[in-house]
Amino acid sequence: MAFTTQHLADLFAALAARMAAERDMLCALDGAIGDADHGIAMQQGMHAAQAAVAALTDPTLQDQFNAAAKGFLNAVGASSGPLYATALLRAGKVAGAQAAMPVGETPLLIMAMAEGIVHRGKAEVGQKTMVDAWAPAAQAAREGASFAEIAAAAEAGAQSTAQLVATLGRAARLGARSLGHPDPGAISAAMIIAEMTAAFARSATGGQT
Amino acid sequence: MAFTTQHLADLFAALAARMAAERDMLCALDGAIGDADHGIAMQQGMHAAQAAVAALTDPTLQDQFNAAAKGFLNAVGASSGPLYATALLRAGKVAGAQAAMPVGETPLLIMAMAEGIVHRGKAEVGQKTMVDAWAPAAQAAREGASFAEIAAAAEAGAQSTAQLVATLGRAARLGARSLGHPDPGAISAAMIIAEMTAAFARSATGGQT
Amino acid sequence: MTLTQKLINDGNATVDEMLTGVMAAHGDLLQRPSPRAIVARHGPRPGKVALVIGGGSGHEPTFLGFVGRGLADAAAVGNVFASPPPQPCVDAAMAADGGAGVLFMYGNYAGDVMNFDMATELLEMEGIEARTVLTTDDIASAPEVAMRRGVAGNVFIFKAAGAAADLMLPLDEVERVARHANARTYTMGVALSACSLPQTRRPNFDLPGGEMEIGMGIHGEPGVRRGPLQSANEVADEIMDALLAEMQAPTGAKVAVLVNSLGSTPLMELYIVFARVAERLAGAGLQVHRALVGPYCTSMEMAGASITLMHLDDELTGLLDHPCHCAMFRQG
Amino acid sequence: MTLTQKLINDGNATVDEMLTGVMAAHGDLLQRPSPRAIVARHGPRPGKVALVIGGGSGHEPTFLGFVGRGLADAAAVGNVFASPPPQPCVDAAMAADGGAGVLFMYGNYAGDVMNFDMATELLEMEGIEARTVLTTDDIASAPEVAMRRGVAGNVFIFKAAGAAADLMLPLDEVERVARHANARTYTMGVALSACSLPQTRRPNFDLPGGEMEIGMGIHGEPGVRRGPLQSANEVADEIMDALLAEMQAPTGAKVAVLVNSLGSTPLMELYIVFARVAERLAGAGLQVHRALVGPYCTSMEMAGASITLMHLDDELTGLLDHPCHCAMFRQG
Ligand SMILES: Nc1ncnc2c1ncn2[C@@H]1O[C@H](COP(=O)(O)OP(=O)(O)O)[C@@H](O)[C@H]1O
Ligand SMILES: Nc1ncnc2c1ncn2[C@@H]1O[C@H](COP(=O)(O)OP(=O)(O)O)[C@@H](O)[C@H]1O
Ligand SMILES: [Mg+2]
Ligand SMILES: [Mg+2]
Ligand SMILES: [Mg+2]
Ligand SMILES: [Mg+2]
C-alpha cells in the first residue's frame, strides 16, 4: 500500500480543519503561559499550507511538503512558523521527488519532522515545548511502533508538559509558574501527529480519506 | 425670630452633606442626558462653599454668601458654578451686611437666587433646567407661601422636567430624547431649596440646627 | 459592579496631579502661572494676539497639549468634563497677553460659555480686550450649527488661529480666521464603550457589548443613533456620508483629515478606519493635504473614534502648514 | 461572554488593512516595497548602515511608527503578537541596504530570533551582512539579562542606534552603540486589564476587576506579581524601586524617562505617574534629560503603563538629542 500525493493533500486539508476547530482552545492554553495566539498561528499556518498544496499541479510528495513549508512560514512567522517550516522541509527530503511512498516508510516522516524542529529550535526534551510531543513520537517511530502507538506517545508527551517548568520560548520567563499548564505547542503537535498517523493508517488499508 | 449667621453656616454644612450624599444619584441622572458629573460639581461646590463660610471670623450674612459664591465658583466651574455663584451673590445683597435677618424675610433669599440664576443662564421656565425648580419656588415665595409650600413647589417643578424637552445646556442636543429623564440641575435645586426652607423653618421656631 | 481600573491616587486630585506631571515633563516648554493656567514659554510676545484655549480635563492632549509656539499661547484647565471657572481663564489670558488683545477659543458648551464670559468681563476691568470664537464642529450634536458642540476638530481650528496669531495678525484677522476655520471643519464620532469619571470610577453611560453609538459626544452626551456594532468600513462610511454631505466640497478640493481615538481604540483600528476614509475621499475627488491619526481629543478611556474633515482653501492650507511646537503636538 | 469592542473589518486582515491606512496617511515619509515591509523614504542612503527593526503588530506606534530619517530605516511587520516571517525581514533589509551592512534590532522573543536568523542566512546568500542586537529592557521578565524581553525601552534603544547610523557610523560602531544603549535601558510595567487579539476578540488572559499584574509582558505574558490594584504612587514606587536598584546610577547622573501607556490608560494617568517618577528621580539625585509620556509601545487596548529609564552618558545623550522624523515620532 502506498501513501500518495492525494493522501498528503487530504492530510493537509485535515490538518487545516483540525487546527481551525482547535484554534480557540489552543489560544486559551497559550494565554495561560504565553501570548494567546498559538491557535491562530496554527490555524493560519495549516490553512496556508493546505492552500499552497492544493494549488500545485501533479506535484511530487516533496513538492507538496516544500509548498506547505513555505506557505506555513510566510503566513505565520512567530515561533511556530520556522519550526514547522523546517519540519516540513525535512519531511519533504525524506518523501523525495516521487508521487507516492510505501506506507511502511511514513514513520520516517515523523522522525524527520522532529529532527527539523529540534534543529531549528535547539530545544531538548523536558524544556516544555512542542519537542516534548515530537521527540517521543519520533522515538516510537524509530522503534517500529504502530501508528496508534506513535500518536499515543505524542499525546502522553504533550500531557506531560503540564508537569514541566518552561525554559524556552515565551513561557520560559514564568519559571515555576508555568507548572500545571500544558504547553500549547506540544498539545497542537500531538493533534498534528494524530492526524498524520491516522492518515497513514487509512492509506495502509487503502481506505479513502 | 431671626435667621443668623450661625444658622446660615449650619445651612451650608447641611447643603454640603446633602450634596455629598446625593452625589452618585445626581451623576447618574446627568449620565442619562448629560455628562454624568452634576453630582460631583454640586458636592465639590457646596463643600467649598461650606469651607469658605466656616473660615470666616464674625462675618455678616452677606460676607457668608459672598464667600460661598466665590468658593463654589472656583471649585467647580462647569454650568453649576456660574449659576450658583450668581445666585449666592444675589442672596447676599438681599441679606445685607448684618449678622441676622428676620425669618419672615428669608423667602426673599429664594427669590434673589432664582433671579440670579435666570440672569446668568438666560433660561426660561420649560427649558428643562434648574430654573424649572427655582422659578416656581420663587413664585411661591413671592405669593407668601409657607416654607413647606415653597419646597413643594420646587419639588413639583423639578419632577415636571421629566416631561420637558431640553433646549438649553448639554441636554439640549438631545431634543425629544431627553423626554422621560428629569433634569439633574432641577433635582439638585429642589434638594437645595428643601434644605434652605427647612433651615428657615427651624430658625423660625428658634430650634437649633 | 466593579470600579473602572484607573492608575490614580485621589479621584478628586487627578487634574492637579496631572498638571504637576505635565510641568515636570515639559517645564522647558510650559509655565504654570496659577494652579489651573498653563502658558507657553516661547509663544506669547509683545504685539501678538494671545490665543487662549481651554475647557474641561479628560480630553488630553486637548487642551493643554496644544499650548506652544505656533499654536495656543495658554490654556485654562477645568475639572474633568467641567469648564474651568473664570479665574484660571483670566490668569491664562493675563499671562499670555501681549497687548494686542486676547482670543478665547473653546468648544460650545453652556458651562464654558458662562465661565469664559465672566472671565471676559473681569478682563475688561483690567483693560484687556478678550473676544471669543466657539468651536462647533460636531455635526451630530445639533442641526443648527450655532448649537453644535466643539470636539476633535478643535485641533485644526485652533491650529489655524494659532498660526494666524503667530504670524502677528491683528485681533480682527485672527478672529476672522478662527471663525472661517470653524465654519469649514466637520466632525462626527462613534463610541464603542463608556468612560468613567475618576471621582466615581463608574461608566458615565451604559453601552452594552455588541452595540455602538454614533454621534456620541466627547463627554458621553448621547448621540444620534445606537445600534449593533458594525464593521470599521460600515462605520466609516456612515460618518463619511454625513461629513461629505455637510461639507459640500467641489471635486478637486483639498482637505485635512483627522482620525481620532476617543481613548482606548488603538492606532491599528484608527489606520483601518483611515484606509477607508482615504478611499472615500478619493472617490469624492478630494485631495488629502494633511492627515492626522491618533489620540488628539479623547474621553479618557472611552473606546471609539471620530473623523474630522477640514475643507481647505489656500489660506487655511498655509496656516495648517505653519510650524508649531507644543508639548503634545509637533509640526514643521 | 461578549466580544471585545473593536472597530475592525476582518479579524484576519487587520494588519494588512492597517498598513494600507498607514501608507495612505504617510506616503510622504514611507514606502512599502513588499506587503509586510515598511521603508523610510528619506532614511536609507549609500554608505549608511541600515537599521531594520520589526516584530509582531499590535504595539503601534512600535515598530513601524519609528521608521524615518534619524531613526529606523525599515521595519518588518508581523501578524498581531507574532514575529514576521523571514521574507519581510529580507525585503526590508534589501530595500534599506546602503552597502554598509544591516543591523537588525528587535525584542528578545523566541519567534523573532528564529525568523530574523533565517532572514540573516538568506541575506548572506545575497552578499549582505546582517548583524543582530536584541533588546532586553524588561527587568521583570527574567533575572538573567540575556533572557529578558524587549519592551517599551525599544524607543530609546532604537533611537540611539538610529542616530548613530544617521551619523554614518560604520556597522561595528552602530552595533556597539546599540548594545551599549540596550545595556543601560530598564523597563517595568503594570497591567490593569487584558487586551484581545482581533481574530478572537477575547481577553488574552483574565485579570479580575480590582486587580493588577506587575511585570506583565506586552503580549500579556504573565508578570511577577498579581495583587489588588494600588494607587498610582504605590505602583510607581514599586516599579521605581526595582528600576533604580537595577540601574545603579550614581547621584548626578542623567536619565531619559518614558512613561508609556499600554493602550487604554489615558495621558491624565500617565502624567500622574510621571509626577511621582520625577519626584523619585529627584530624590535619587538623578537629572531628567529627556521625558516621553504617552502611548509608545502598546498592547492594543490593554490598560496599564510601563516606566523606562535609560541611564545616559555623553554619547547616549547626544544620540537621543539627534533629530528624527518618523510618521509617529518626531524630534528636533
Ligand atoms: N525553541 C523552541 N523549540 C521548540 N518549540 C518552541 C521553541 N520556542 C517556542 N516553541 C513552541 O512554540 C509554541 C508557541 O508558539 P506560538 O504561540 O505560535 O508562537 P509565539 O510564542 O511566537 O507566540 C510554544 O508553546 C512552544 O511549544
Ligand atoms: N443656561 C442655563 N440656565 C440654567 N440652568 C442651566 C443652564 N445650562 C445648564 N443648566 C443646568 O446645569 C445642569 C448641569 O450642570 P453640571 O452637570 O454641573 O454642568 P455641565 O453641564 O457643565 O456638566 C443642567 O442639569 C441644568 O439644570
Ligand atoms: Mg504565542
Ligand atoms: Mg454635567
Ligand atoms: Mg460637565
Ligand atoms: Mg505570538
Radius of gyration of chain C (CA): 19
Evaluate if residue D32 carries a pLDDT over 50: yes
Ligand 2 neighbours by CB, cut-off 6 Å: B 30, 34-35, 37-38, 41, 78-80, 83, 117, 121-123, 129-131, 168-170, 183-186; C 82-83, 110-111
Q: Is the C-alpha dihedral spanning C163, C169, C171, C176 positive or negative?
A: negative
Cβ-Cβ pairs closer than 8 A, A with D, add up to 112
Residues 6+ apart with CB under 8 A from C279: none
Cell triple for residue A12? 493537509
How far apart are the C-alpha atoms of B161 and B184, rounded to whole Å?
Answer: 9
Per-residue pLDDT, averaged over D25-29, amounts to 98
Chains B and A touch (3+ CB pairs under 8 A): no
Q: What are phi and psi of C210, to 5 degrees?
A: 90, -5
Amino acid at C278: A
Judged by its nearest atom, the ligand closest to the C-alpha of residue D114 is 1
Per-residue pLDDT, averaged over D198-206, amounts to 93
How far apart are the C-alpha atoms of C310 and C187, rounded to whole Å?
Answer: 9
Per-residue pLDDT, averaged over B149-165, amounts to 97
DSSP 8-state code for residue D49: P
Among C213, C224, C316, C228, CA closest to C262: C213
How far apart are the C-alpha atoms of D263 and C302, rounded to whole Å?
Answer: 11
Picking from A136-140, A178-182, C138-142, D287-291, which range would have the lowest pLDDT averaged per residue? A178-182
Position C112 scores a pLDDT of 98
CA distance D16 to chain C (A): 9
Q: pLDDT digits over C152-206, tens only? A: 999 999 999 999 999 999 999 999 999 999 999 999 999 999 999 999 999 998 8
Among D88, D18, D6, D42, CA closest to D325: D42
Query: pLDDT > 90: what percent of chain C?
Result: 97
Q: In this complex, do A41 and D82 lie within 8 Å of one another by their Cβ atoms?
A: yes
Evaluate if residue D298 carries a pLDDT over 70: yes
Per-residue pLDDT, averaged over C307-315, amounts to 98
Q: Could you tell me if D126 and D93 are in contact, meaning their C-beta atoms sit under 8 angstroms apart?
A: no
Among residues D26, D59, D180, D311, the one annotated as catalytic is D59
- Whole-number Å distance, alpha carbon B131 to ligand 2 midpoint, is 10
Residue A39 near ligand 1, beta carbon < 6 Å: no
Q: How far is CA C46 from the centre of its chain?
A: 27
Q: What is the DSSP string of C208-237?
A: -TTEEEET--TT----SEEEE---HHHHHH
How far apart are the C-alpha atoms of C210 and D1, rounded to whole Å?
Answer: 11
Per-residue pLDDT, averaged over D182-201, amounts to 97
Q: Could you tell me if B98 and B80 are in contact, meaning their C-beta atoms sit under 8 angstroms apart?
A: no
- B26's enclosing H/E stretch is helix B5-33
Q: What is the DSSP string of B82-141?
A: HHHHHHHHHHHHHH-SSSEEEGGGTHHHHHHHHHHHHHHH---TTSSSTHHHHHHHHHHH
SS3 for A100?
strand
Residues 6+ apart with CB under 8 A from A25: A39
List residues bridging with C294 in a β-sheet: C260
Atom of ligand 1 nearest to the CA of D219: 23
Per-residue pLDDT, averaged over B6-12, amounts to 98
ipTM of the complex: 0.96
Residue D110 near ligand 1, beta carbon < 6 Å: yes
Query: pLDDT > 70: what percent of chain D?
Result: 100
Per-residue pLDDT, averaged over D248-262, amounts to 98
pLDDT band at C19 (very low <50, low <70, confident <90, very high): very high
pLDDT band at D290 (very low <50, low <70, confident <90, very high): very high
pLDDT band at D221 (very low <50, low <70, confident <90, very high): confident
Q: In this complex, do D83 and A78 lie within 8 Å of one another by their Cβ atoms?
A: yes
- Residue found by looking up cell 533565517 in the block: D118
Picking from A183-187, C8-12, C73-77, D205-209, which range would have the lowest pLDDT averaged per residue? D205-209
Picking from B11-15, B48-52, B168-172, which range would have the lowest pLDDT averaged per residue? B168-172
Kindly report the three-state secondary structure assignment for every residue of D303-314: CEEEEEEEECCH
B-interface mutation test, from C106, C221, C225, C302, most B Cβ less than 10 A away:
C221
Position A209 scores a pLDDT of 45
Evaluate if residue A175 carries a pLDDT over 80: no
Query: Regarding predicted confidence, which is higher, B204 or A26?
Result: A26
List residues bridging with D74 in a β-sheet: D39, D52
How far apart are the C-alpha atoms of C275 and D27, rounded to whole Å?
Answer: 12
Cell triple for residue D101? 551592512
Cell triple for residue B7? 444658622
Q: In this complex, do C21 and D272 lie within 8 Å of one another by their Cβ atoms?
A: yes
How many residues are there in chain D?
Answer: 332
Residue A37 near ligand 1, beta carbon < 6 Å: yes
Active site residue D289: no
CA distance C116 to chain B (A): 10
Judged by its nearest atom, the ligand closest to the C-alpha of residue D109 is 1
Q: Could you tell me if D21 and C293 are in contact, meaning their C-beta atoms sit under 8 angstroms apart?
A: yes
How far apart are the C-alpha atoms of B1 and D182, rounded to whole Å?
Answer: 79
SS3 for C328?
coil
Specify whether the backbone of C101 is left (phi greater than 0), alpha (psi in -120 to 50) or beta: left
Residue A184 near ligand 1, beta carbon < 6 Å: yes
How many residues are there in chain A?
Answer: 209
CA-to-CA dists, residue A141 to A89, A112, A114, angstroms = 19, 10, 11
**Burial call C158-187: b when 16+ CB within 10 Å, e when fewer:** bbbbbbbbbbebebeebbbbbebbbebbbb
Q: pLDDT digits over B158-171, tens only? A: 999 999 998 877 77
Testing ligand 2's pocket by substitution, the residue of B19, B33, B79 carrying the most ligand atoms inside 8 A of its CB is B79
Q: Could you tell me if C239 and C214 are in contact, meaning their C-beta atoms sit under 8 angstroms apart?
A: yes
Nearest residue (CA) to ligand 1, atom 24: A185
Q: pLDDT digits over C203-261, tens only? A: 998 899 999 999 999 999 888 899 999 999 999 999 999 999 999 999 999 999 999 99
Q: In this complex, do A36 and D147 lie within 8 Å of one another by their Cβ atoms?
A: no
DSSP 8-state code for residue D48: P
Per-residue pLDDT, averaged over B172-189, amounts to 88
Evaluate if residue D1 carries a pLDDT over 80: no
Evaluate if residue C319 carries a pLDDT over 60: yes
Position B190 scores a pLDDT of 98
**Burial call B105-137: b when 16+ CB within 10 Å, e when fewer:** ebbbbbbbbbbbbbebbebebebbbbbbbbbbb
How far apart are the C-alpha atoms of D332 and D324, rounded to whole Å?
Answer: 7
Query: pLDDT > 70: what percent of chain B?
Result: 98
Position A207 scores a pLDDT of 57
Nearest residue (CA) to ligand 2, atom 13: B185
CA atoms within 13 A on the CB side of A139: 12
Q: Could you tell me if D299 and D152 are in contact, meaning their C-beta atoms sit under 8 angstroms apart?
A: no
Taking 3-state DSSP, the helix, strand and coil percentages for chain B, each rounded to the nearest 5, stand at: 75, 5, 25
Residues 6+ apart with CB under 8 A from C118: B82, C86
Evaluate if residue C275 carries a pLDDT over 60: yes
Question: What is the strand order of the sheet C330-331 is part of?
Answer: C68-69, C324-326, C330-331
How far apart are the C-alpha atoms of C7 and D277, rounded to whole Å?
Answer: 14
Evaluate if residue C294 carries a pLDDT over 50: yes
- Residue found by looking up cell 422621560 in the block: B180
Q: Could you tell me if D208 and D226 are in contact, meaning their C-beta atoms sit under 8 angstroms apart?
A: no
Q: Could you tell me if B109 and B95 are in contact, meaning their C-beta atoms sit under 8 angstroms apart?
A: yes
Using a CB cutoff of 5 Å, list residues around ligand 6, an ion. Answer: A 35, 37, 78; D 81-82
Neighbors of chain D by Cβ distance (3+ pairs < 8 Å): A, C
Position C206 scores a pLDDT of 87
- Whole-number Å distance, alpha carbon D107 to ligand 1 midpoint, is 15
SS3 for D267?
helix
Residues 6+ apart with CB under 8 A from D36: D15, D19, D76, D77, D78, D84, D85, D87, D88, D91
- Whole-number Å distance, alpha carbon B133 to ligand 2 midpoint, is 13
Residue D93 CB: number of other CB atoms within 10 A? 29
Residues 6+ apart with CB under 8 A from C141: B173, C147, C148, C149, C151, C215, C217, C221
Q: pLDDT digits over A129-164, tens only? A: 999 999 999 999 999 999 999 999 999 999 999 999
Mean pLDDT (chain B, rounded): 95
Judged by its nearest atom, the ligand closest to the C-alpha of residue B79 is 2
Q: In this complex, do D114 and A82 lie within 8 Å of one another by their Cβ atoms?
A: yes
pLDDT band at D172 (very low <50, low <70, confident <90, very high): very high
Evaluate if residue B207 carries a pLDDT over 60: no
How far apart are the C-alpha atoms of C213 and C233, rounded to whole Å?
Answer: 15
Q: pLDDT digits over B71-116, tens only? A: 999 999 999 999 999 999 999 999 999 999 999 999 999 999 999 9
Residues 6+ apart with CB under 8 A from C213: C190, C191, C207, C222, C223, C225, C226
Atom of ligand 1 nearest to the CA of A77: 22
Out of D60, D209, D265, the one facing C268 most closely (by C-beta) is D60
Cβ-Cβ pairs closer than 8 A, C with D, add up to 191
Position B166 scores a pLDDT of 86
Q: What is the DSSP string of A162-205?
A: GGSPP-SSGGGGGGGGGTTS--HHHHHHHHHHHHHHHHHHHHHT
A-interface mutation test, from D79, D138, D141, most A Cβ less than 10 A away:
D79
Q: In this complex, do C263 and D268 lie within 8 Å of one another by their Cβ atoms?
A: no
Judged by its nearest atom, the ligand closest to the C-alpha of residue D56 is 6
CA distance A158 to chain D (A): 20
Atom of ligand 2 nearest to the CA of B123: 3
- Which of chain B's residues have a Cβ under 8 Å away from the Cβ of C222? 33, 174, 177
Residues 6+ apart with CB under 8 A from B170: B33, B34, B35, B79, C109, C110, C217, C219, C221
SS3 for C29?
coil
Position C1 scores a pLDDT of 62
Q: Could you tell me if A150 and A193 are in contact, meaning their C-beta atoms sit under 8 angstroms apart?
A: yes
Q: In this complex, do C305 and D20 lie within 8 Å of one another by their Cβ atoms?
A: no
